[in-house]
Amino acid sequence: MSDTDLLGIEHRWPERAKWPALQGLAAAGEDFYRRGWSLGTSSNYSVVLSKTPTRVLLTASGKDKGHLGSDDFVLVDEAGKVLRSEGGKPSAEMWLHLILAQRENIGAILHTHSPSATLLSDLCASDGGFWIEGYEMLKGLSGITTHEAKVWVPIFPNTQDIPSLANAVEARLNTTTEPKMYGYLIRNHGLYTWGKDLAEARRHIEVFEFLFDVLLRKRALK
Amino acid sequence: MSDTDLLGIEHRWPERAKWPALQGLAAAGEDFYRRGWSLGTSSNYSVVLSKTPTRVLLTASGKDKGHLGSDDFVLVDEAGKVLRSEGGKPSAEMWLHLILAQRENIGAILHTHSPSATLLSDLCASDGGFWIEGYEMLKGLSGITTHEAKVWVPIFPNTQDIPSLANAVEARLNTTTEPKMYGYLIRNHGLYTWGKDLAEARRHIEVFEFLFDVLLRKRALK
Amino acid sequence: MSDTDLLGIEHRWPERAKWPALQGLAAAGEDFYRRGWSLGTSSNYSVVLSKTPTRVLLTASGKDKGHLGSDDFVLVDEAGKVLRSEGGKPSAEMWLHLILAQRENIGAILHTHSPSATLLSDLCASDGGFWIEGYEMLKGLSGITTHEAKVWVPIFPNTQDIPSLANAVEARLNTTTEPKMYGYLIRNHGLYTWGKDLAEARRHIEVFEFLFDVLLRKRALK
Amino acid sequence: MSDTDLLGIEHRWPERAKWPALQGLAAAGEDFYRRGWSLGTSSNYSVVLSKTPTRVLLTASGKDKGHLGSDDFVLVDEAGKVLRSEGGKPSAEMWLHLILAQRENIGAILHTHSPSATLLSDLCASDGGFWIEGYEMLKGLSGITTHEAKVWVPIFPNTQDIPSLANAVEARLNTTTEPKMYGYLIRNHGLYTWGKDLAEARRHIEVFEFLFDVLLRKRALK
């Protein structure tokens, strides 16, 4: 999306049909809601409309993710300042989006809150995370080309102090001594993942939610 | 909805498209039915159209909740008198709606009948209820601001004597010595919850059904 | 549906939109397919258009139940003679429909083939059936007014000799010394139930499938 | 589909509404995606448009299977040469389609990637496959007329060397000393099955996915 589009957005709030990012997030929300991954107004989603300056289109706090309309988004800058809103406010979790939105190659950030992510994040919390290994589905994560890959999913303790959690996530993103992070879980809370654009971020959500489901069912079979 | 609207309702029965409460309940029913939470004509839903005088729009008895039309509702007063109907009758469970409809800050009451609620209400019946604790999803309940909250879900024995059950629920609502009740289960029967308006009541249904699913799957993993 | 309608049906095959029975069965099929209760062209459904003479509208053999069109049905009489067809043939299971179609108060017969019915019919086969007891959902079965009811679901061994199975089912229907039968399972095959009309038969399918799911999940929790 | 149609396809790329094969694959994809059998851009589907010369319409690599449009397909010949494309490329798994596309009576090949197929292919990998036996649903496989049938589902080890996997599958197809193969699993990867046309292939997918689900749930109950 060009800067011209972005300026356009700041001057007027285009109707849903004309705004691909908004439409794309609403469509993702409809699907995630249907699957039970975003019930109870949980979850939040964003698309990075511009990197310089940082312009992030983010779902407003407390919105029903299965029925997002053009009033249910806010436009924020890198400092979290609301540039445009139809009455909605960003949730505190905005900070978890902003640390990612300012990194290279990240164009969309999605957070879902599924039963499987909730359960797995609790079961593996004491290990600080878990490995996913040997599944063809891992190839759905950008850059992975073989099922022989091994991906570590870190689990962060849940907290209402989101700025502090954002700092911990950012530190983890900047670490060079840990395995590459494609997404992470917050304990009893859900999944954050991202991609270069919304299509990739949505694919990453599907890949992780599929694998969480498989891992949990495998445990139950043992 | 203003009193004028209410009077309007009593004079003529507006078509579905013009009546937000009826439309909203039909949309909730479609979703709950799809998820398997309102099969077999189980469940009943209501919206409080007016507090003084009490006017409650309630699904009629025995209706298919996945395909509610304008004929599938009744309008009742605080004494359960039917003020308007297209042939349908209120079910006995109307009394469970009326005790809630007359309380402050309650604008909608929803009852679902999911497999998870059925199972959990049976498993925990001898304890009289169960705690839900430590889940981010709890923040979807109105007034809860941290996952560190602890919510008690009471379970009432099932009975066909609904007025007596309504009395027991009302007594529990009036108790000041028990933890706040955001919803309750009837054993082998399902969930009742409510909200200041239909959106909040529907969010509370989603929050509880999500958490019941998580609690049951957690038990199965142990 | 009057005899005049029935004669009309025999003279010309009305388009789907004008034929409520056909439309109703297609809508039921869409829902059952979506829920995974009628995959792989399994299942068959019928509506009794007339009792004297017997005229039964039945899904033709091998049709995709999620996408039924007006070509996917046959009209048969009490002897299984095809009176009208757009090329389709009745399946052998027609006889399981015809024994029911000729009984009083039965206007529709539905057979689904869900994973839960398949599993439960196998697990309880050696007992010849199982009790369902204590569930509010039982009140969805016509004539049951309390959760304190107790319903026996017989399980018949599977066979490709459908006329002989039909005889066994009919004998069971005529028995006065066994508990009333609201539906039955065929081992590793699925559920048959019925109702005075299609709405009731569909409600009975939903009630049984809900209860099978609950019973299986309860076993898994033990 | 006649050769004339095929020539037509090579001259111009018809819009989706006019091309039944493309439309049929898109519809199958929508359904499989909704059921969670083709998440994360996994899976690939094909229809054989012509046998002499071999013309196969195949989903292009990396496409979202829930939202296939006319740009998301390639037309290839028996050597894997791309004859027509709107920018998409075939995935390496094209070879698994081509070995089947050239055999008699195979008009469509479908590959899904469900959690159940993933789990079962892992659990039974050391046995090289598993029997399915005694289920009425087996009659959904073309040529099987009784539930007393016994079907062996081979499991191939997963590999990124698809030509070598294709050779192994082809050798298995040509064996006369092994039980007939209606479909196969790749470990931790998913199901391949086929049919004389798309309707049959889709029915086979539904039959296998149903049975995998039943087998897994049966294991969990033990």
> Which range is least confidently modeled, C204-218, D7-21, D145-159, D196-210?
D7-21
Task: Tell me what pLDDT residue C175 has.
Answer: 95
- Contact (CB<8Å) B136/A119: no
What DSSP state is assigned to residue B193? E
pLDDT of C6 > 70? The answer is no
List the subunits that have 3+ CB pairs under 8 angstroms with C. B, D
- The token pair at B24 is 């909203």
CB-CB contact of B131 with B150 (8 Å): yes
A188-195: average pLDDT: 98
Report the alpha-carbon distance of residue B162 to residue C133 in Å, rounded: 20
In this prediction, residue B222 has a pLDDT band, given cuts at 50, 70 and 90, of confident
pLDDT at residue B221 in the model: 87
Residues of A near D (Cβ–Cβ under 8 Å) read 31, 35, 134-137, 140, 145-148, 199, 203-204, 206-207, 209-210, 213-214, 217-218, 220-221
Taking the alpha carbons at both ends of chain A, their separation in whole angstroms is 49
What value, to the nearest 5°, has the Cα angle with vertex D129 and ends D127 and D134?
Answer: 115
Contact flag A158-B140 (C-beta cutoff 8 Å): no
Q: What's the pLDDT at A222?
A: 74
Q: Under a CB-based contact definition with an 8 Å cutoff, are residues B115 and C210 in contact?
A: yes
Q: Which tokens is A105 given?
A: 């190659």
* Interchain contact, A136 vs D113, CB within 8 Å: yes
CA A67/CA A79 separation, integer angstroms: 28
Residues of D in Cβ contact (< 8 Å) with C190 = 136
Q: What is the DSSP letter of D39?
A: -
Does the structure show a pLDDT above 60 at D2? no
Q: How much of chain B, in percent, has pLDDT values that exceed 70?
A: 92
Alpha-carbon gap: A90 to the closest alpha carbon of chain D (Å):
29
How far is C38 from C202, CA to CA, in rounded Å? 13
Residue C135 has its nearest CB partner, among B41, B118, B220, at B118
Residue D222: its pLDDT value, please? 74
Which residue is closest to D112 within chain A, CA to CA? A137
Q: What is the model's pLDDT at position D17?
A: 36
Mean pLDDT of chain C: 92
Query: Closest residue of C to D212, CA-based?
Result: C115
Q: Which CA distances in Å does B161 have to A15, B95, B167?
A: 52, 10, 10
Edge-to-edge order in the sheet of strand C55-59 = C82-85, C73-76, C55-59, C44-50, C108-112, C190-195, C183-186, C150-156, C129-133
The minimal CB distance from D136 to the residues C66, C188, C220 is found for C188
Element (H, E) at A47: strand A44-50
Q: Please list the residues that pair with B56 across neighbouring strands.
A: B48, B76
Mutate to test the interface with C, among D35, D37, D136, D144 (most CBs of C within 10 A): D136
Band (pLDDT 50/70/90 cuts) for residue D114 is: very high
How high is the mean pLDDT of chain D? 92
User: Tokens for C211?
Assistant: 């209860």
Nearest by CB to C40, from D35, D145, D210: name it.
D210
Query: In the β-sheet with D190-195, what is the strand arrangement from edge to edge?
Result: D82-85, D73-76, D55-59, D44-50, D108-112, D190-195, D183-186, D150-156, D129-133
Distance CA A171, CA A115 (A): 27
Calculate Rg over the CA atoms of chain A: 17
Q: Quick one: A120 exposed, middle or buried, by C-beta within 10 A (0-12, 13-18, 19+)?
A: buried
Q: Is the ipTM of this complex over 0.90?
A: yes
Which stretches of chain D sit within 8 Å of chain C by CB? 31, 35, 134-137, 140, 145-148, 199, 203-204, 206-207, 209-210, 213-214, 217-218, 220-221
pLDDT, position C9:
47
pLDDT tier at B15, thresholds 50, 70, 90: very low
Q: Which residues contact B214 (CB under 8 A, 6 or more apart)?
A: A115, A118, A119, B135, B137
Q: Which residues of D touch A24 (CB under 8 A)?
A: none
Distance CA B83, CA D102 (A): 71
Q: Hey, what are C214's tokens?
A: 């609950």
Nearest to B136 among A36, A115, A158 (CB): A158
- The pLDDT confidence band at residue A19, using thresholds 50, 70 and 90, is confident
Band of residue C123 on the pLDDT scale cut at 50, 70, 90: very high
Query: pLDDT (tens digit, 9 = 90+) per residue, C60-111?
Result: 999 999 999 989 999 999 999 999 998 899 999 999 999 999 999 999 999 9
Assigned token pair, C2: 């009057």
Q: E strands of chain B, at which residues? A: 44-50, 55-59, 73-76, 82-85, 108-112, 129-133, 150-156, 183-186, 190-195
Helices (H), D46-161: 94-101, 115-123
Provide mean pLDDT across the span D56-81: 95
**What whole-number percentage of chain B has pLDDT above 90?**
87
Q: Does the distance separating the beta carbons of B119 and C221 come in below 8 Å?
A: yes
CB-CB contact of D154 with D160 (8 Å): no
Which amino acid type is present at position C150?
K
Tell me how far apart the alpha carbons of residues A35 and B213 are, in angstroms, rounded to a whole number: 13
Chain D environment of C42 (Cβ under 8 Å): 136-137, 140
Question: Which among B95, B101, B104, B110 has a CA at the least distance from the CA of B201?
Answer: B110
Residue B13 reports pLDDT greater than 90: no
For C221, which residue in chain B has the nearest alpha carbon?
A: B220
Cα–Cα distance measured from residue A69 to residue A47, given in angstroms and rounded to the nearest whole number? 15
Number of helices (H), then strands (E), in chain D: 6, 9
The partner residue sitting opposite A203, judged by closest CB among D36, D40, D189, is D40
| pLDDT the model gives residue A201 | 98
The answer to whether the beta carbons of residues B112 and B194 sit under 8 Å apart is no
Q: Residue B118: pLDDT above 80?
A: yes
Torsion angles phi and psi, residue A93, rounded to 5: -70, -5
Instruction: Report residue A116 as tokens.
Output: 């499987």
Contact list in C for residue B186 (CB cut-off 8 A) is: 136
User: What contacts C98, CB < 8 A, 6 or more positions away?
Assistant: C54, C56, C76, C78, C80, C166
Q: Give the H or E element holding residue A57.
A: strand A55-59
What pLDDT, on a 0 to 100 scale, did the predictor assign at position B70?
Answer: 84
Residue of chain A nearest D189, judged by CA positions: A136
Partner residue opposite C119 with nearest CB, options D137, D148, D218: D218
3-state secondary structure of C200: helix
Neighbours of D146 (CB within 10 A): 11
Name the band, by pLDDT with cuts 50, 70 and 90, for residue A7. very low
* Sequence-ordered list of residues with C-beta below 8 angstroms from that of C7, at least 6 positions apart, any chain: none
Question: First CA to last CA across chain C, in angstroms?
Answer: 49
Instruction: Identify all chain A residues contacting B214, using CB atoms and an 8 Å cutoff.
Output: 115, 118-119
Residue C120: the pLDDT is 98
pLDDT at D221: 87
**pLDDT tens sequence across A28-59:** 999 999 999 999 999 999 999 999 999 999 99
B84 or C14, which is more confident: B84
Is the pTM higher than 0.90?
A: yes
pLDDT above 90: residue B12: no
Determine, for residues B218 and A119 on separate chains, whether the beta-carbon distance falls below 8 Å: yes
The Cα of C221 is separated from the nearest Cα of chain B by a number of Å equal to 5
CA distance A119 to chain D (A): 17
Confidence of residue B9 (pLDDT cuts 50, 70, 90): very low
How distant, in Å, are the alpha carbons of A112, A129, A182 from that of A193? 9, 15, 6
Interface test with D, best of A210, A216, A219 (most D CBs within 10 A): A210
Residue in B with minimal Cα distance to C34: B34
Which of the four pLDDT bands, split at 50, 70 and 90, describes residue C11? very low
| Cβ neighbours of D78 (radius 10 Å) | 15
CB of C186 closer than 8 Å to CB of B88: no
Tell me how far apart the alpha carbons of residues D205 and A120 are, in angstroms, rounded to a whole number. 29
pLDDT digits (tens, 9 = 90+) for A108-162: 999 999 999 999 999 999 999 999 999 999 999 999 999 999 999 999 999 999 9
Closest CA to A187 of A153, A216, A158: A158
How far apart CA D12 and CA B64 sit, in angstroms, is 49
Tokens of C201: 């038969």
The arithmetic mean of pLDDT across residues D86-90, rounded, is 93
Report yes or no: D140 and C40 within 8 Å, Cβ to Cβ.
yes
Which residues of chain B have a CB within 8 Å of the CB of A118? 135-137, 214
Give the best residue of D116, D133, D206, D216 to mutate against chain C (max C CB count within 10 A).
Answer: D206
Per cent of chain A over pLDDT 70 is 92
